[in-house]
Homo-oligomer: A and B are copies of this chain.
Amino acid sequence: MFKVKVHILLKDDVLDPQGKTVQNALDHLGYKGVSEVRIGKYIEFFSAETDDKKLKESVKDMCQKILANTVIEKFEYAVEKI
């Protein structure tokens, strides 16, 4: 059994209007010095797969096919045996 953690973020050269809005809101509320806010998705799940390598391949495949939009998003994942 593994716990899988996936981070999906907009690519660095893609504008993040949601992040910009949050940044402005934080600034208005008095949290100064905050910059480059980027908002992404965080997905975690458990997998019954027993082979570490196979699981990583499978998660990469999931990210490319369904979890992330690879045209504008980048992803990172980590698996952890539990």
Are B48 and A33 in contact (CB-based, < 8 A)?
Answer: yes
List CB contacts (< 8 Å) of A12-48 with chain B. 19, 22-23, 25-26, 29, 31-48
Instruction: Kindly report which residue of chain B lies nearest to residue A2, judged by CB atoms.
Output: B33
Given known contacts A29-B66, A66-B26, A67-B22, is B41 in contact with A45 (CB within 8 Å)?
A: no
CA distance A45 to B25 in the complex (A): 14
Size band of the A side of the interface?
20 to 34
A52 within 8 A of B: no
Q: A38 to chain B: closest CB distance in Å? A: 5
List CB contacts (< 8 Å) of A40-76 with chain B. 40-49, 58, 61-62, 65-67
**Cross-chain contact of A48 among B7, B35, B41, B49 (Cβ < 8 A):** B35
